[in-house]
Amino acid sequence: MRLIICLSVLLNFSVFLHAQDNNWQKDAENSGIIFYTNKAECHDIQNGTHVEYYLVQIHNTTDQQAEITWNTFLWSNETCLNCKEDRSDVKSFKVTIEAGETIEGDCSNKDIKGLHIFSRFLNMATKIPVTRFSFQNINVKFN
């Protein structure tokens, strides 16, 4: 029985294994808010999904709480996938970050929208992979 419990716990911890290096690249900066990105392979063993994401890290280098809004535009080769999209939930994001705080996307937590950019499936064909992206219209409001 203990073996079953231990294996169950181990499986739950390994649900979102990921092969991620700490190779964060600076992508954008505005008013002391810095956007970094890092490509990561996220493996959900339990559900059999294996996905490559660009993870986003946002760092508030100021001494004030900041409300940040931005658009993320997605590209597949030379074609912008969401540039003409009218729905703001597809490309517009908003977060509030405390002074000196950093938030970042990771494979196991997708609660904060905008911190994960889908690139491609690793275990099946991806019809239209995201090959690059850009952060635009970054607005910072200090509280």
Confidence of residue 21 (pLDDT cuts 50, 70, 90): low
More confident residue, 97 or 15: 97
Percent of the chain surpassing pLDDT 90: 73
* 98 pLDDT higher than 90: yes
* 76 pLDDT higher than 60: yes
Bridge partners, 18 (sequence order): 42
Confidence of residue 8 (pLDDT cuts 50, 70, 90): very low
Which residues, at least 6 apart from 107, have a Cβ–Cβ distance to it below 8 Å?
16, 17, 18, 20, 40, 42, 43, 53, 55
Boundaries of every domain in the chain: 2-142
Q: Are 38 and 21 in contact (CB under 8 A)?
A: yes
